Amino acid sequence: MKRVLLFFILIATSLLSVLSCVPHNNDSDRINIAVSIAPYGDLVRQIGKDKVSVRVLVPPGRTPHDYEPPPSAMTRIATAQAYLAVGSGIDVERQYLDKILAQNNHLAFYDLSVGIELLDGHGHEENRSHEHEGGDPHVWTSVENSIIIAYNIYLALCQLAPQYSDYFAQNLQNYTQRANKLINDINNLFVDMQRNIFFTYHGSMSYFADEFGLEQISIKAEGKEITPASLANKIDQAKKSSVKMIYVENEYSDSVAKVVAEELKGQVLHINALSDNYLAAMWQNALNLWEGLK
């Protein structure tokens, strides 16, 4: 019995010795990064991996267009080390970013839209000032743009923690390879499509459409209510374009889309533009769009 007890004591001692040699990366050891929306949180994690801890301002199920963060959320974001902003003019940043930055004079700020050409509300390239007023803010829905965003994240993290710059560079290279493969896969998916026009409830996919030679038509204009006349016009457009699928972002009600789909004798499919698993979501978005374009 004593030998068995001694055996277990030795095993336990060995395990404790091994575990003590395993590095523990606590949140206190990581760079605390704040972002506005979930896709950017995922991209920060792709580049920073175990060197970062990410805080996302807009919670799941809400949109950056109408979310009003409570004071507790503002404080939690403001106590991060750095804010990596979308920078393209999304509503939540235009309305609340200055207030967040004012709470912490030491909060580093980085604009991740540097190097990205904004589109106007009709999917055309637009020259904009640093404030990006009036352009389409959904820049992340282009996979090519996500590579630029990832590079800007890499530059920010290298400034915040230069000792890990080689590590961040390797992670950036890995992400870029995966993103380029996705771009190639989506191009191959769309190569034999029968049409290139798709209808969405909220026009979040303009950059995706521009990247892959598609045309997005939005039922709801940004910041405007849908009227019976405007809805009838969109239904007429959809019929003329032989559209059968209407796409709705996960965060929005599909009630209007169902009305349109019934008129078209079609159906409603979903788009996820705010996923915290960016590349997987963009591939699924492509598959859903292909269903309506093949």
pLDDT tens readout for residues 24-49:
445 568 999 999 999 999 999 999 99
Helix (H/G/I), strand (E/B), else coil: 248: strand
Q: Where in the chain is the domain with CATH 3.40.50.1980?
A: 27-186, 191-293
- Give the strand pairing for 245-249 and 267-271: parallel
Q: Which residues of 30-59 are buried (b: 16+ CB within 10 A; e: fewer)?
A: bbbbbbbbbbbbbbbbbbbbebbbbbbbbe
DSSP type of residue 254: -
Is the model more confident about 80 or about 134? 80
Helix (H/G/I), strand (E/B), else coil: 219: strand
Amino acid (1-letter code) at residue 264: L
CA separation for the pair 171, 42 (Å, rounded): 13
The CATH-assigned architecture of domain 27-186 is 3-Layer(aba) Sandwich (3.40)
pLDDT at residue 117 is higher than 60: yes
Query: Which percentage of the chain shows pLDDT scores above 90?
Result: 66
Q: Which CATH class is domain 191-293?
A: alpha beta
Q: Where are the alpha helices (DSSP H) in the chain?
A: 2-21, 38-48, 71-78, 91-102, 143-160, 165-189, 206-211, 228-240, 255-264, 278-293
Predicted TM-score (pTM) of this structure: 0.86
